[in-house]
A and B are shown apart, each in its own frame.
Chain A
Amino acid sequence: MLQSFLQNILNALQWGSFYSLIALGYCLVYGVLLLINFAHGDIFMVGAYIAFYCCMFLLGKFGVFAGLPGWMVLAVAIPLTMILTAVVGVTLERIAYRPLRRKGVNRLYVVITALMCGLILENGNLALLGASRKSFPTLVPIKVFEVFGVTVTNIKLMVIGVAILSFLLLHFIVTRTKIGMAMRAISYDRFAVPLMGIPADTVIVFTFVLGSGFAGLAGLFFAMTYPVIDPYMGALIGWKAFIAAVVGGIGSIAGAFAGGFLLGFVEIMVVAFFPSTYRDLIAFSILLLILSIRPTGLFGVARRTKI
């Protein structure tokens, strides 16, 4: 009983790691622009594809060069995937969101644009690469450890470790650096930020770099864990991560991670005790309950203003 409980906790941590890494992208962009970037789930999907092509290339599958050993491929693929996925995110910002922002249009139109961007990414991928699924190459041989009857793979440990490191890094950036302060400042009052001599667009681009970069990282590790990728893989997980971000308290990094892990736990625990078809029903009922008690989410703070 205890063993299966511990096993479930480990699984939940891994599953929650993916939600967390995606949720933080929603959270950062929302925090800075008050924009729900509905294309973010699809940026995660694009990240997985970028990871796929990076890895195939580095493994020498395209015949350009002889190929590197698996662990070295992983070491190179991590930064490469993050950078390229960040480029995709920033491109969306430049061609889709920024022109609307410049015109000062209502946020609703920007959100609709984000939805369309997501659909364009999905269907663009479908048109370009076809509907067939791709199987992700094995980079590091899976090792299974057994401790007190609980099994854990090296990939699972890696995923959890990556999520925790990402949280610490982002927390540091947002709380300790000037650009992080600027990100928080912009979320509070966009008008006053240029008066500090700070170009608002620089801060916004940086936010998209972080959000998309970590979505790419999630895509890479997701594909390593569940080695089949398809153009629609980002849709549902993206929605769920968004909900996780809201439950955690959108706009707070700690909230995004807490929400992501919470959703991971709830889903895994539901499956452990109920038929798996109940999973989403029960999971979202619980989240709904949390939101109705704390509408600002677990870590969210209602904004106060002084007249």
Chain B
Amino acid sequence: MLLSVQNLRVKYGNIEALHGISFHVNRGEIVTLIGANGAGKTTTLLSIMRLPPPEAPKVVEGDILYEGQSILGWETHDVVRKLHMDLSPEGRRIFGNLTVMENLVLATYARKDGEEAIARDLDRVLSLFPRMSERRKQRSESLSGGEQQMLAVGRAIMTGCDFILLDEPSMGLAPLLMYEMFRTLKKLNELGLTILLIEQNAKVALNFAHRGYVLDTGEIKTSGTAEELKRDPEVKKAYLGG
């Protein structure tokens, strides 16, 4: 088990956002958390990445294990550089005042695996997202929303991560671009990238993932393989539109 979240309860101030959720991700898998707005999906990812307050919630109970070891006491930058995990956050959060290329280069800040590996990843990102290549010298805030989303994913890959957490990567993307993005991610998964995906669009998510969990108001309602979830009448009714 690569990542195991155990009975996690977290609070924003006095408000409890997750009421003890448990799930796990194996190496090489694509796992998705689906659920409506306010179900606690983003909160889960922020907790795993150990982002500090006020952005992230406080863990009051439970544990987050990476290969069996608790990472509750870790700081975000160490999670990124030592565990090779990264989050492509909600709202993209690219550095708009930097050029596209600078965004990608900055992501390699803490990498220790040498210029060769960095060059290989840069090649990969630029060929996966040809638009990045065309616009590498542009200030990234001048990109369209969809391009910014690709940059956010590309930037996460440039940190050298082998486990990526994606928070609604389809947001703001035209359908065609969205499918292109998921095809790309699938390719990366076949090359060894583990993916934990959050999506509101349950249909897309379940077509993409191997397994999934349904999150509802801070609790895990159901779980199973993507095929099982797609057939589940409850899931069908609530998330797949009948």
Contact = CB atoms under 8 A, between A and B. Distances in A.
Contacts of A178: 105-106, 108-109
A174 to B, nearest CB: 11
B235 to A, nearest CB: 30
B37 interface: no
Interface string A99-110: 000101000000
A186 B222 CA distance: 39
Contacts of B49: 195
Interface string B37-75: 000000000000101111100000000000000000001
B75 A194 contact: yes
Interface in B124-144: 141, 143-144
B194 interface: no
The winner among B75, B76, B143 for most chain A CB atoms within 10 A is B76
A78 interface: no
Contacts of A115: none
Given A185-B98, A306-B148, A197 B109 contact: yes
B77 A189 contact: no
Interface string A153-195: 0000000000000000000000000100110110111011011
Contacts of A102: 52
Contact of B97 (A187, A195, A307): A187
B55 A181 contact: no
A191 B55 contact: yes
A195 B106 contact: no
Interface string A293-307: 000000001011111
Given A185-B98, A188-B95, A197 B80 contact: yes
Contact of B110 (A181, A197, A301): A197
A199 interface: yes
Interface in B119-177: 141, 143-145, 148, 155-156, 159
Interface in A121-173: none
A306 B145 CA distance: 7
Interface stretch (B20-28, B81-89, B211-219): B81-89
B106 A181 contact: yes
Contacts of B141: 304-306
Nearest to A104: B54
Interface in A189-242: 189, 191-192, 194-200
A129 B148 CA distance: 56
B89 A198 contact: no
B93 A191 contact: yes
Given A197-B109, A197-B110, A189 B95 contact: yes
Given A185-B98, A188-B98, A196 B106 contact: yes
Interface of B: 49, 51-55, 75-77, 80-81, 86-87, 89, 93-98, 102, 105-111, 141, 143-145, 148, 155-156, 159
Interface of A: 102, 104, 178, 181-182, 184-185, 187-189, 191-192, 194-200, 301, 303-307
17 contacts: A181-B98, A192-B89, A194-B51, A195-B86, A195-B87, A195-B159, A196-B106, A196-B107, A196-B110, A197-B109, A198-B77, A198-B109, A200-B77, A303-B96, A304-B141, A306-B96, A306-B145
